[in-house]
């Protein structure tokens, strides 16, 4: 069992570091802040909470912060709102460690108790919450819930970064994720990578930028419904080699296989280099 130790972030909340993916679970600028500003606000859950029911898909549940922030937001607006929730998670020890270290205590009751039960039993059913946490490779579990007909008002797309976890940013995987989104639903992710945005567009979604959290880079919002257009700069970024997406036709490839295939495609394409795009916009070759 991996021993996850809390690491303090700038807003006073804690995160973990994943040795497997060589990356922290959240921004150092604030784990809770990231959940609220990158996922809850862009998906407009406070507005959605006026409905009798709200459905949520949390891709890479992790410590549970995105879901905790979502439940708190929804029930603050409408205490009677029933939430239909599905979470996907590879490592069951992560949510258990968050509970063990009491990292969810800052959210309003009964949210810590509910997420404690979900981490332990993988499901919960009450008048206000129908929840199921599916463990394993998300490339496989996403197909199960799509085939079951689950459709979400809000999707939180929160894997580790594309260079470290390309398996969950491919055209094929994101097509399944998009297939679980309602026609008027919204998908939010912290990533603004051109490859990710291209894959979302190939899935039939429109995309827009969300504000950055403690850094320059924005996040991405996606929906089948119209969204504010990207800036000219961002649209041009989608015409560079950086926008060549990750691919995994069988949904079984390893990270190294996916990265290698994309590198080959980048080297053999005729698209503008990302460094040239950066020179045009910033006047220097940023790395």
pLDDT digits (tens, 9 = 90+) for 47-73: 999 999 999 999 999 999 999 999 999
pLDDT above 50: residue 286:
no
In a domain, 259, yes or no: no
Structure tokens at 199: 């894959």
Residues 242/193, Cβ–Cβ less than 8 Å: yes
Strand partners, 23: 18
Number of independent structural domains in the chain = 1
CATH number at residue 87: 3.40.50.150
In a domain, 278, yes or no: no
pLDDT above 90: residue 20:
no
pLDDT above 90: residue 2:
no
Query: In which residue are the tokens 């549970």 written?
Result: 64
- The CB density around residue 193, as the number of other CB atoms within 10 Å, is 20
pLDDT above 60: residue 284:
no
Structure confidence at residue 1 as a pLDDT band (50, 70, 90): very low
Residue 10, pLDDT score: 75
Distances (CA, A) of 284 to 209, 274, 279: 24, 12, 5
Residue 3, pLDDT score: 74
In a domain, 246, yes or no: no
In a domain, 167, yes or no: yes
pLDDT above 60: residue 233:
yes
Residue 214, pLDDT score: 60
pLDDT above 60: residue 285:
no
Distances (CA, A) of 58 to 87, 131, 161, 260: 5, 11, 16, 28
Q: What is the DSSP letter of 108?
A: P
Residue 181, pLDDT score: 98
In a domain, 109, yes or no: yes
Query: Cis peptide leading into 110, omega within 30 of 0?
Result: yes
In a domain, 212, yes or no: yes
pLDDT above 60: residue 277:
yes
Structure confidence at residue 216 as a pLDDT band (50, 70, 90): low
Percentages (nearest 5) of helix, strand, coil residues in the chain: 40, 20, 40
Structure confidence at residue 74 as a pLDDT band (50, 70, 90): very high
Percent of the chain at pLDDT exceeding 70: 95
Q: Which of 25-34, 40-49, 175-184 has the lowest mean pLDDT?
A: 25-34
* 183 sits in which H/E element: strand 181-189
In a domain, 185, yes or no: yes
Question: What CA–CA distance (Å, rounded) separates 78 from 139?
Answer: 33
Closest of 151, 97, 147, 146 to residue 120, by C-alpha: 97
Q: What is the DSSP letter of 43?
A: T
As a whole number, mean pLDDT of residues 214-242 equals 91
Q: Tell me which of 105 and 22 has the higher pLDDT.
A: 105
Residue 174, pLDDT score: 98
In whole numbers, what is the pLDDT of the chain averaged over residues? Answer: 92
In a domain, 132, yes or no: yes
Q: What spatial distance separates the first Cα and last Cα of the chain, rounded to whole Å?
A: 37
Domain hosting 195: range is 30-230
Q: What is the DSSP letter of 242?
A: G
Structure tokens at 213: 């959290």
């Amino acid at each position: 069992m991996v021993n996850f130790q809390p690491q303090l972030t700038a807003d006073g909340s804690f995160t973990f570091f994943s040795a497997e993916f060589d990356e922290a679970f959240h921004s150092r600028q604030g784990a809770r802040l990231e959940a609220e500003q990158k996922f809850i606000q862009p998906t407009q859950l406070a507005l959605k909470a006026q409905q009798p029911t709200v459905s949520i898909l949390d891709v890479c549940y992790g410590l549970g912060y995105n879901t905790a922030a979502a439940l708190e937001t929804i029930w603050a607006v409408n205490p009677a709102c029933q939430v239909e929730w599905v979470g996907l998670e590879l490592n069951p020890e992560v949510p258990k460690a968050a509970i063990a270290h009491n990292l969810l205590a800052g959210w309003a009751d009964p949210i810590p108790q509910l997420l404690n039960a979900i981490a332990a039993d993988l499901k919960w059913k009450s008048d206000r919450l129908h929840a199921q946490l599916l463990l394993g490779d998300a490339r496989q579990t996403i197909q199960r819930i799509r085939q079951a007909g689950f459709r979400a008002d809000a999707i939180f797309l929160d894997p580790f970064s594309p260079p470290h976890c390309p398996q969950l940013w491919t055209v094929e995987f994101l097509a399944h994720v998009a297939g679980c989104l309602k026609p008027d639903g919204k998908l939010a992710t912290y990533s603004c990578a051109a490859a990710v945005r291209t894959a979302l567009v190939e899935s039939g979604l429109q995309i827009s930028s969300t504000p950055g959290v403690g850094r320059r880079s924005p996040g991405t919002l996606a929906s089948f419904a119209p969204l504010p257009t990207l800036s000219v700069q961002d649209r041009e970024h989608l015409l560079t080699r950086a926008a060549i997406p990750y691919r995994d036709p069988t949904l079984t490839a390893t990270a190294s296989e996916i990265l290698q295939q994309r590198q080959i495609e980048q080297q053999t394409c005729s698209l503008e280099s990302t460094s040239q795009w950066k020179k045009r916009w910033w006047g220097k070759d940023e790395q």
